[in-house]
Amino acid sequence: MARPTKYKSEFAHQASIICKFGATDKDLADFFGVTERTINTWKQNHDEFFQSLKKGKDYFDSKVEMALAERAMGYSHPETKVFNVNGKIITHDIQKYYPPDVTACIYWLNNRKPKKWASRKAVESEITIDKLPEGTGVLKTPPILSLDDWVKLSNECNAELNKKEKEFEKAPG
């Protein structure tokens, strides 16, 4: 006889909310006082629970994706500076600017356009020991791009993007 489940229908809504803040399955297990294995069982046996987790996690992932894109492209936001001038508090509203981040660009492009930007190119071929260079016993692989090469590629990509943006702005309609 199987042990009765601790699952309750309201868990689906609770899990969705928690996942919108970045909770993992481990976090959910801790919250509900069960194991990760139980969370996986609930996902299999209760579609509403599975769908709510998916929805919550997708929401959080989208926010992270947008933040990474902003970091890669640079962004600004309003900020209030507070100053103490001779004991008097003065505030001043400004636009805080963050320039594009090369590392974020590399990460984004590695994942979004791996065929063009991956730091390690996959080599598709069948190789057997008898096809290695004679006497070496070593398979040579292409070099990995240096950070300087990535910066150069990133700058070229930004220049190409700026050119396309200008063409788009000039296009009629």
CA distance linking residue 116 with residue 101, whole number of Å: 19
pLDDT on residue 48 = 96
Compute CA distances 160 → 59, 115, 154, 156, 167, whole Å.
31, 18, 10, 6, 11
DSSP annotation of 73: H
How far apart, in Å, are the Cα atoms of 170 and each of 73, 157, 161, 167? Answer: 22, 20, 14, 5
In the prediction, which pLDDT does 162 show?
76
Give residue 152's pLDDT: 78
Q: Which two tokens stand for residue 117?
A: 């930007």
Q: What is the pLDDT of residue 1?
A: 65
115 CB-contact burial (10 Å; exposed 0-12 / middle 13-18 / buried 19+): exposed
Q: How many CB atoms lie within 10 A of CB 10?
A: 8
Q: Is the pTM above the cut of 0.85?
A: no
Which pLDDT value is given to residue 159?
A: 79
**Which neighbouring-strand residues pair with 76?**
97
The residues, ordered by sequence, that sit 6+ positions from 10 with a Cβ below 8 Å of its Cβ are none
pLDDT value of residue 133: 57
pLDDT for the residue numbered 121: 56
Ranges of residues in the chain whose predicted pLDDT is under 50: none
